[in-house]
Each structure stands twice: as C-alpha cells, then as structure tokens.
C-alpha cells in the first residue's frame, strides 16, 4: 500500500521565483508590527498589570456565563474567569483597583460576598505592580532565550548561515503574532507567552526539516545552483509540510471554534503562528540563504541563479 501523499511526487513548484514578493510581504508585516507596538502598544492582561486573584470551589457545577454576569455587576473593571479541574473550580481575576492595597482588599471582599456560601474560597491574593512587572520581564526574557537557543542549536547541527537564518525566521514568526495582538488590541497575558514559545518551537521544527533536505541535496547535486537546489528541497518536503501543518491546524482550529472565550486568544495565536511558521520556513529561512556567504561544502562554489534547472524528481 502506497503512503498517502497530498502533493504529487513530481511537483516542481519554483518557490524562489516569488521570493521578492515574499520579502515585500515580510517587510510590510514587520513594519506594521513595529508601528503598532510604538503607537498602540499591547493590551496587557492582568498577569502583567496586577490585580486581584480568587480561586473558589463549589460542590455542584456552576455556569460560567451566569457567574461572569454577576461579577460584571460589581463594576470592578476587567474581569477574567477560568474553570480548571472540572466545572466545580473557578479562578477569578480582576484588574488592579485604584486606591492602593485597601482598594484591592475591598475588591476581594466584594467578590467573596457575591459568591456567598455556595462557594468555598480556596485562595485569594493581590498581584501587585512589582510582581506583574517581573512576570512581564520574565516572559520577554523567556521568549528571547528560546529564539537564541534555537539559533545555537541549528548552528551546531548545520552551519552558521543556517543558524542565523533560523534565528531571524523564528523572530519573524514571534513578532508577527505579537503584531496581531497589538494591531487588534487583544489581551496579551502569560497564556499568550506560552503560545509564542509553542510557535517558536513549531517554526524551527518546520525550518529544520527543509534545512536537512537542503544539506542532503548539497552533497548529492554539487553543481546545482543554490536557488534550484532550495526549490528541489522545498518540493521534496512539501507533502510532509502540508500534512503536518494541516492536521495541526485542524486541531487548533477546533480549539479556536469550540474552546470558548478562555482559549480563544491562545488558539488564535497558535493558528496565526502555524500559518506564518509554515510560510517562513520557505520564504524567510530558505530564501535568506541566497543572500548569505555560500553555505556550500568547502571547495564547491554556490550558484544562486534562478535559471538553473533541477534534476527530474525521480533522479
């Protein structure tokens, strides 16, 4: 039985022919992101702005929508709710209240009074501005370290050209997702930081698959132009990319559609990250190799010409 292939074996898509258009799209995306971040910033969630956190448990299941409406009636500002461990436990977060520590404690009292005797208060605490700033700093540092370590890994596995390309590509994917949240002022919290780290990992995985095939083909077709060699490598991995990205995207889309408001932004970040990561593995990571010092084996000159014809797929 032959394996399932969504892309024919004889596909000869010349991806590098469109690299100029792809680079223009990439540059416009980065410019839009930088402009939005500079002018609008991010809509930071409670994790990064501070506020009140209350965890409660009820013996019987409760309705999130009804409880959210009751909390909104307290007029405490932004309210975030998340069920965890089933439909009997709930985590309530309320934005930082003006008026210092006393105002925060009044907010806790108002929430516990509204919950009444039906709920058991498991935990209540106030996240101050100092803690929220530390969380924001740690989130940024973790994302930057992830990108840096990814580049070091690719550098040691391949060559420095591949490592630098992987770093720039991963940064591109992460900043594109951040730009989306800035442009549409979607809530940016620790959950989104986790999504960004997931996107970074997925991006480098897809990139490494293409890079690995480029390395193999460099050894096999030593006189083939680099542009044609990259095209050939992309075509050889295209079926795997479509199947992997497609099945992952279907799962994440299910979360986006049926996951509810709690998972909506997280799922959206993953959806955008998957699409951008698949695009960038070809039109950022691979295309950048054409503009770097030759990654060809020692003694083998690079020929990054578009006119070189790739050998037939069956060769």
Bridge-based pairing of strands 187-188 and 43-44 is: parallel
Provide mean pLDDT across the span 90-116. 77
116 pLDDT more than 50: yes
Name the nearest CA neighbour of 272 among 164, 177, 196, 182.
177
304: three-class secondary structure by DSSP: coil
125: three-class secondary structure by DSSP: strand
- Is residue 91 within 8 A of residue 109, CB to CB? The reply is no
Q: Average pLDDT of the chain?
A: 77
- Please report which confidence band the pLDDT of residue 137 belongs to, taking 50, 70 and 90 as the band edges: confident
Q: Write the pLDDT tens digit of every residue in 143-186.
A: 788 778 877 877 777 778 888 888 888 888 889 999 999 998 88
Using the structure block, give the residue that is written with the tokens 């500079």.
Answer: 38
- Is residue 165 within 8 A of residue 22, CB to CB? The reply is no
How far apart, in whole angstroms, are the C-alpha atoms of residue 227 and residue 286? 9
Q: Write the pLDDT tens digit of every residue in 66-76.
A: 777 877 777 77
- Please report which confidence band the pLDDT of residue 299 belongs to, taking 50, 70 and 90 as the band edges: very low
Q: Write the pLDDT tens digit of every residue in 207-230.
A: 888 888 888 888 887 777 778 888
How far apart, in whole angstroms, are the C-alpha atoms of residue 294 and residue 93? 53
H or E element in which residue 89 lies:
strand 89-95
Q: pTM here? A: 0.73
Rounded to the nearest angstrom, the gap between the alpha carbon of residue 245 and the centroid of all alpha carbons in its chain is 14
Provide mean pLDDT across the span 68-86. 74
Rounded to 10 degrees, the C-alpha dihedral 216/217/219/221 comes to: 170
């Amino acid at each position: 039985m032959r394996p399932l292939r969504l892309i024919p074996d004889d596909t000869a898509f010349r991806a590098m022919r469109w690299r100029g258009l792809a680079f223009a799209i990439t540059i416009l995306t980065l410019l839009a992101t930088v402009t939005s971040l500079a002018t609008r910033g991010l809509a930071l969630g409670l994790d990064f702005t501070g506020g009140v956190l209350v965890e409660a448990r009820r013996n019987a299941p409760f309705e999130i929508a009804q409880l959210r409406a009751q909390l909104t009636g307290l007029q405490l500002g932004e309210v975030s709710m998340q069920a965890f461990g089933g439909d009997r436990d709930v985590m309530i977060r309320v934005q930082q209240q003006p008026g210092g520590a006393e105002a925060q404690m009044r907010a806790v009292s108002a929430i516990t009074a509204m919950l009444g005797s039906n709920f058991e208060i498991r935990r209540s605490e106030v996240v101050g501005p100092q803690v929220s700033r530390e969380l924001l700093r740690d989130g940024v540092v973790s994302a930057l370290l992830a990108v840096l370590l990814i580049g070091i890994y690719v550098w040691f596995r391949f060559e420095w050209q591949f490592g630098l390309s992987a770093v720039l590509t991963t940064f591109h994917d992460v900043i594109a997702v951040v730009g989306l949240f800035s442009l549409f002022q979607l809530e940016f919290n620790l959950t989104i930081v986790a999504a960004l780290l997931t996107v970074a990992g997925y991006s480098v995985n897809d990139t490494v698959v293409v890079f690995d095939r480029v390395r193999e083909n460099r050894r096999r077709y030593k006189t083939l132009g680099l542009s044609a060699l990259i095209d050939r490598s992309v075509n050889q991995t295209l079926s795997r990319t479509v199947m992997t990205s497609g099945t992952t995207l279907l799962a994440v889309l299910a979360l986006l559609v049926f996951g509810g408001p709690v998972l909506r932004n997280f799922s959206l970040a993953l959806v955008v990250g998957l699409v951008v990561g698949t695009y960038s593995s070809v039109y950022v990571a691979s295309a950048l190799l054409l503009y770097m010092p030759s990654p060809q084996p020692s003694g083998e000159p690079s020929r990054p010409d578009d006119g070189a014809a790739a050998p037939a797929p069956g060769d």
